Amino acid sequence: METKNIAGMSMKGGRKDNFYFCLLEFYPDSKRWFLKSLLQVKDEEGRDGDDAVREWIEDFNLRRLVVDFPLSAPACHTCELDCPGVEACPKPEVSPVRERIHKLLEEDMEIHENHPKTYERKRNSDDEIDVNKNVLDKEAHEHLLSRAFKRRLKKGFLPYWNRALDFWIWRHYYDQLLDIFNASYDSFGNTSLMLISRFSYLRRHFPKNLELFESNAPVILIELLRAKMILRKDIDLLNDIELGVEARLDIIKKIEKHLSIFIYDRDLELLVRNPRAFESFLMAVAGQNIQEGKNRNLPAWTQPEDTKFIAPNF
pLDDT tens for 111-132 read 999 999 999 888 888 877 776 7
Q: How far apart are CA 222 and CA 176, in angstroms?
A: 8
At 194, which amino acid appears? M
Chain centroid to CA 301: 18
Structural domains of the chain in order of their starting residue, each with its CATH number: 5-69+191-307 (3.30.420.10), 77-181 (no CATH)
The band of 313, judged by pLDDT with boundaries at 50, 70 and 90, is very high
Looking at per-residue pLDDT, the higher value among 58 and 16 belongs to 58
Q: Is residue 1 pLDDT above 50, yes or no? A: no
Angle between helices 49-59 and 193-205 (to 10 degrees): 40
pLDDT of residue 268: 96
The band of 15, judged by pLDDT with boundaries at 50, 70 and 90, is low
Q: Is residue 47 pLDDT above 70, yes or no? A: no
The answer to which of 27-31, 140-144, 231-235 has the lowest mean pLDDT is: 27-31
The answer to which of 129-138, 140-149, 221-230, 243-252 has the lowest mean pLDDT is: 129-138
pLDDT tens for 247-275 read 999 999 999 999 999 999 999 999 999 99
Q: Is residue 12 pLDDT above 80, yes or no? A: no
Residues 31-50, mean pLDDT to the nearest whole number: 78
- Strands (E) across the chain are located at 5-9, 19-27, 32-41, 64-67, 211-214, 261-262
Q: How far apart are CA 35 and CA 22, in angstroms?
A: 7
pLDDT of residue 3: 61
pLDDT tens for 65-88 read 999 989 999 999 889 999 998 889
pTM: predicted TM-score of the whole model, two decimal places: 0.92
List the one residue out of 295, 284, 209, 210 whose CA is nearest residue 7: 284
Q: How far apart are CA 76 and CA 73, in angstroms?
A: 8
Q: Which helix (H) or strand (E) holds 109?
A: helix 95-114
pLDDT of residue 300: 94
pLDDT of residue 14: 55
